[in-house]
């Protein structure tokens, strides 16, 4: 029997970067899913072969490992019960609400936790199987928080990193979790932990200090009972700037964006929202502000219109079904009151679109509304910026999105403050083009410099030097990985 292949770089994520699609002849084929993580990995995997461990998206037996565009894919099987308990349950109905400020209440069920443990163990076994001696292992996100310690136990030779795509909650919220100690101990199996914002890393370090009684110094935690140190710091994720910029400049994208505007009746102002249909995204707050602006005759169709794209998401979790009903009811009410024949006030699209169509929508939109109540980063904000090669458009951005800590030249808003949100939307509409172009130029500079390729390189760079190197750069007094300009919004506080 041939030896199983092993790799120097192993990525583990809940999902593999491919989707199963049925061909018309009934055969199944795999299609690369277009997410930013895949682009980031391609950029670091081009000079070394890598493996990706993840679920293939269908309950039941896992397909055999296979190769796709140079990446070795190692599927992990999940039974239907495990999808329910580990994924929909513990990941999306326990951790997700706790990590997002309990916008909806979290559910705690011991059998969900057992499934989470069991599935994390299965992921760890798959990682161990494909990792070469001394490999770098990069574990993604909140679904796999126990994997770092499980991998370390079996394979002390490998370097282990974990990246948190969502916020890490303040200790007061995190402490509600009955399994808080196991989660912290799971994460402390890593050498380096990456977060979207400095505040997230600090929340983690503080949780270790207060709940595990661990010794901490700035961004470093000493694992209790050992002298091993783990670093936790901010490495904010980004988008494939060059790829999106190129896509937006294509004549067919430009033509499609004109066509979109024409089919909407050539409004003076086209506003756009693009979100996964999730209660963290502040879609209701946005619709409420829009509704009031219409009601007060400050704006109205056909001059101003709103396109809201809401991608279906987690529809088997009750909070998401309720949210969908609420949003669809609100959209119906707004259109009933303010729509005209051929000119609805809200164009609501509940399906996903190819990249090309997304780029055309971004290019068509005069005002992009990104108003989450809490969001790890929010890639939509950065994608919009990357597509606006023409320096057109205006970005309304919530202070509660990780992106706000990097993108300073936006129309910043607090989505809870409906009156303030309305004023901000009006300002985004009425600010002179010259000023908006200046803002967009600054935003594009930031995203171009900090693209997803750089994010991956920075994460792996930090993983390579952690934890032997001192975490403070003696020449500047700054932490490695913290850009001075990322700190300024945080330093100004959330009260501006």
Torsion of CA 436, 437, 443, 445, to 10 degrees: -160
Q: Which helix (H) or strand (E) holds 412?
A: strand 411-413
Cβ proximity to ligand ADQ: between 220 and 253 the closer is: 253
CA-angle at 292, arms to 287 and 297, nearest 5°: 125
Q: Which of 6, 79, 311, 423 binds ligand ADQ (CB under 6 A)?
A: 311
Residues 145-174: x/- map of binding to ligand ADQ (CB under 6 A)?
--------------------xx--------
Q: Are 306 and 344 in contact (CB under 8 A)?
A: no
Q: Strands, E, within 254-377: which ranges?
A: 269-276, 304-311, 346-349, 367-370
Q: How far is the CB of 319 from ligand ADQ (least distance, A)?
A: 15
The answer to the question of residue 274 lying near ligand ADQ (CB under 6 A) is yes
Only one of the segments 25-33, 173-181, 221-229, 379-387 lies at the binding site for ligand ADQ (rule: CB under 6 A); that segment is 379-387
Q: Which of 44, 53, 127, 380 binds ligand ADQ (CB under 6 A)?
A: 380
Query: Residue 435: how many CA atoms within 13 Å on its side-chain side?
Result: 10
Q: What are the angstrom distances between the C-alpha of 91 and each of 94, 205, 233?
A: 6, 22, 23
DSSP sequence for 24-67: TTS-EEEEE---HHHHHHHHHHSSS-EEEEEE-SSSBSPPPPEE
Q: Which of 209, 249, 256, 276 binds ligand ADQ (CB under 6 A)?
A: 276
Cβ proximity to ligand ADQ: between 226 and 263 the closer is: 263
Beta strand pairing status for 269-276 and 367-370?
parallel
Only one of the segments 13-21, 293-301, 375-383, 481-489 lies at the binding site for ligand ADQ (rule: CB under 6 A); that segment is 375-383
Q: How far is the CB of 135 from ligand ADQ (least distance, A)?
A: 23
Beta strand pairing status for 394-398 and 367-370?
parallel
Cβ proximity to ligand ADQ: between 49 and 349 the closer is: 349
Q: Which of 240, 375, 406, 451 binds ligand ADQ (CB under 6 A)?
A: 375
Residues 345-374: x/- map of binding to ligand ADQ (CB under 6 A)?
-------xx----x----------------
* 3's tokens: 């030896």
Only one of the segments 24-32, 260-268, 377-385, 408-416 lies at the binding site for ligand ADQ (rule: CB under 6 A); that segment is 377-385
For residue 387, how far is the Cα from the chain centroid?
Answer: 18
Cβ proximity to ligand ADQ: between 207 and 380 the closer is: 380
The answer to the question of residue 140 lying near ligand ADQ (CB under 6 A) is no
Q: What are the angstrom distances between the C-alpha of 335 and each of 269, 300, 338, 340?
A: 17, 11, 5, 8
Residues 199-238: x/- map of binding to ligand ADQ (CB under 6 A)?
--------------------------------------x-
Cβ proximity to ligand ADQ: between 268 and 321 the closer is: 321
The answer to the question of residue 377 lying near ligand ADQ (CB under 6 A) is yes
Cβ proximity to ligand ADQ: between 131 and 396 the closer is: 396
Q: Are 273 and 348 in contact (CB under 8 A)?
A: no
The answer to the question of residue 376 lying near ligand ADQ (CB under 6 A) is yes
The answer to the question of residue 476 lying near ligand ADQ (CB under 6 A) is no
The answer to the question of residue 379 lying near ligand ADQ (CB under 6 A) is yes
Q: How far is the CB of 55 from ligand ADQ (least distance, A)?
A: 16
Binding to ligand ADQ (CB under 6 A) within 17-46 occurs at: none
- Please give the size of the binding site for ligand ADQ, defined by CB under 6 A: 17
* 403's tokens: 């992106």
The answer to the question of residue 387 lying near ligand ADQ (CB under 6 A) is no
Q: Which helix (H) or strand (E) holds 449?
A: helix 433-449
* 441's tokens: 């130029």
Q: Which of 238, 257, 378, 409 binds ligand ADQ (CB under 6 A)?
A: 378
Cβ proximity to ligand ADQ: between 152 and 388 the closer is: 388
The answer to the question of residue 286 lying near ligand ADQ (CB under 6 A) is no
Q: How far apart are CA 366 and CA 447, in angstroms?
A: 19
Q: Which residues contact 33 (CB under 8 A, 6 or more apart)?
A: 15, 17, 18, 19
Binding to ligand ADQ (CB under 6 A) within 290-309 occurs at: 309
The answer to the question of residue 13 lying near ligand ADQ (CB under 6 A) is no
Q: Which residues contact 42 (CB under 8 A, 6 or more apart)?
A: 69, 70, 71
Cβ proximity to ligand ADQ: between 299 and 379 the closer is: 379
Cβ proximity to ligand ADQ: between 176 and 352 the closer is: 352
Q: Which helix (H) or strand (E) holds 230?
A: strand 229-234
Q: How far is the CB of 487 from ligand ADQ (least distance, A)?
A: 20
Q: How far is the CB of 204 from ligand ADQ (least distance, A)?
A: 16
User: Does residue 101 come out as left (phi exceeding 0), alpha (psi in the -120 to 50 range) or beta?
Assistant: left
Cβ proximity to ligand ADQ: between 294 and 463 the closer is: 463
Q: Which of 191, 219, 245, 383 binds ligand ADQ (CB under 6 A)?
A: 383
Q: How far apart are CA 316 and CA 358, in angstroms?
A: 26
Q: How far apart are CA 479 and CA 335, in angstroms?
A: 51
* Sites of contact with ligand ADQ (CB under 6 A): 165-166, 237, 274, 276, 309, 311, 352-353, 358, 375-380, 383
């Amino acid at each position: 029997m041939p030896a199983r292949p092993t790799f120097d770089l192993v990525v583990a994520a809940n999902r593999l970067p491919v989707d199963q699609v049925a061909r018309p002849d009934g055969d199944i084929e795999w299609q690369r899913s277009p997410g930013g993580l895949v682009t980031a990995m391609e950029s670091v995997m081009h000079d070394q072969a890598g493996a990706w461990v993840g679920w293939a998206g269908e309950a039941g037996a896992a397909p055999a490992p296979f190769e796709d565009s140079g990446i070795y894919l190692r599927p992990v099987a999940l039974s239907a019960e495990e999808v329910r308990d580990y994924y929909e349950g513990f990941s999306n109905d326990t951790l997700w609400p706790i990590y997002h400020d309990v916008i909806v209440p979290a559910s705690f069920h011991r059998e969900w936790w057992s499934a989470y443990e069991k599935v994390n163990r299965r992921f760890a076994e798959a990682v161990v199987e494909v990792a070469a001696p001394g490999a770098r292992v990069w574990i993604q996100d909140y679904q796999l928080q126990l994997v770092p310690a499980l991998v370390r136990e079996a394979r002390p030779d490998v370097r282990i990193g974990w990246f948190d795509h969502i916020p890490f909650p303040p200790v007061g919220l995190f402490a509600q979790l009955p399994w808080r100690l196991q989660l912290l101990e799971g994460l402390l199996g890593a050498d380096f932990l990456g977060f979207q914002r400095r505040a997230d890393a600090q929340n983690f370090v503080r949780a270790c200090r207060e709940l595990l009684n661990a010794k901490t110094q700035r961004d470093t935690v000493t694992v209790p009972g050992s002298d091993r140190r783990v670093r936790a710091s901010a490495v904010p994720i980004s988008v494939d700037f060059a790829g999106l910029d190129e896509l937006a400049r294509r004549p067919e994208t430009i033509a499609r964006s004109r066509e979109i505007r024409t089919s909407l009746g050539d409004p003076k102002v086209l506003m756009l929202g693009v979100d996964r249909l999730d209660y963290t995204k502040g879609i209701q707050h946005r619709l409420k502000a829009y509704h009031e602006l219409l009601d007060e005759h400050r704006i109205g169709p056909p001059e101003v219109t709103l396109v809201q794209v809401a991608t279906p998401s987690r529809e088997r979790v009750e909070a998401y079904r309720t949210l969908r009903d609420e949003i669809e009811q609100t959209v119906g009410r707004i259109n009933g009151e303010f729509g005209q024949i051929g000119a609805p006030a809200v164009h609501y699209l509940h399906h996903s679109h190819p990249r090309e169509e997304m780029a055309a929508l971004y290019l068509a939109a005069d005002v992009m509304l990104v108003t989450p109540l809490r969001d790890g980063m929010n890639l939509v904000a950065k994608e919009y910026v990357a597509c606006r090669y023409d320096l057109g458009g205006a970005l309304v951005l919530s202070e509660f999105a990780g992106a706000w800590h990097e993108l300073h030249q936006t129309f910043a808003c607090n989505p809870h403050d409906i009156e303030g949100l309305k004023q901000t939307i009006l300002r985004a509409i009425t600010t002179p083009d010259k000023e908006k172009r200046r803002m967009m130029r600054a935003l594009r500079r930031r995203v171009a410099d900090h693209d997803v390729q750089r994010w991956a390189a920075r994460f792996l760079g930090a993983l390579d030097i952690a934890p032997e190197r001192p975490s403070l750069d003696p020449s500047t007094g700054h932490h490695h990985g913290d850009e001075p300009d990322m700190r300024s919004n945080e330093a100004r506080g959330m009260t501006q």
